[in-house]
Amino acid sequence: MYAIDHAATALLVKKKFPASPMFPLLVSVQLVELFWVLFNYTGLEYFSVANGRLHLDFLPWSHSICSALVLAALSYIILYRSYKKHDIALAFAIGVLSHVAIDLVFHEHDIRLTPFTEKPAWGLGIIDHPLLDFTVELLYGICCWWYFKGSKKLLITIVIFNVLDLPIMLASGDSLNPIDRHHYLLPSFILFQILVTWYFIWQFSAAAHVHQHRKHPPK
């Protein structure tokens, strides 16, 4: 799943845990991906281009089931000590777990159980079918917006970013050569996407929260 719809997942968590600050939730749903970016910069994890397609060959340190569970547990402990509130810590931990849970649907068979075992590895492989990938991600983002009861600006943001991702989903063959030659390009692009989507989702979700608060003030 691309950055905008992982970010949209934070809307689901925010709706369930309204006391949780929005920006930490946005960090939580992308924390796994931030480690993926870091590990690709350092060479601990890597991807490849083969047969005209992009493959995320090796990402078990950031995206394995056990890694996600450990990261969620550590996040819970840190957030609980920081905020002294179970709900906020739990919301952050759920956000962390959501990333790998969602990627299990979209990735190829590259989500391992642990970083130390090659098998079993899971992934339904929706990413291999670009138009299906686009449709599912767009509908998911819209559903997150609907559940959150967000503003029109928030909906437009989700739709626009999904449309902008379509050419990337369709990329194949020679168009992937720059990524193959310069391996820092893909993690840099992913990091840029994360930061930009954080900003827009944070801004427009905050505006929606203020509007709802004015419309339904606490009694």
Q: What is the pLDDT of residues 152-206, one digit of tens each?
A: 999 999 999 999 999 999 999 999 999 999 999 999 999 999 999 999 999 999 8
Task: Report the 3 state secondary structure along the chain.
Answer: CCHHHHHHHHHHHHHHCCCCCHHHHHHHHHHHHHHHHHHHHHCCCEEEEECCEEEEEECHHHHCHHHHHHHHHHHHHHHHHHHCCHHHHHHHHHHHHHHHHHHHHHCCCCEECCCCCCCCEECCCHHHCHHHHHHHHHHHHHHHHHHHCCCHHHHHHHHHHHHHHHHHHHCCHHHHHHHHHCCCHHHHHHHHHHHHHHHHHHHHHHHHHHHHHHHCCCC
Q: What is the Cα–Cα distance from 216 to 98, expressed in whole angstroms?
A: 30
The residue segments making up the domain with residue 166 are 3-215
The per-residue pLDDT for 208 is 60
Mean pLDDT value of segment 138-143: 98
- Give the chain's domain count: 1
Prediction pTM value: 0.92
77-108 tens-digit pLDDT: 999 999 999 999 999 999 999 999 999 999 99
Please, are residues 52 and 39 in contact by the beta-carbon 8 Å criterion?
Answer: no
41-57 tens-digit pLDDT: 999 999 999 988 999 99
The overall average pLDDT reported for the chain is 93
The per-residue pLDDT for 122 is 96
The per-residue pLDDT for 86 is 96
Using pLDDT thresholds of 50, 70 and 90, give the confidence band for residue 213.
very low
Mean pLDDT value of segment 22-48: 97
Mean pLDDT value of segment 115-126: 95
> At residue 209, does pLDDT exceed 70?
no
Mean pLDDT value of segment 134-138: 97
> At residue 211, does pLDDT exceed 70?
no
The per-residue pLDDT for 207 is 67
| CA trace torsion 32, 37, 39, 41 (10° rounding) | -170
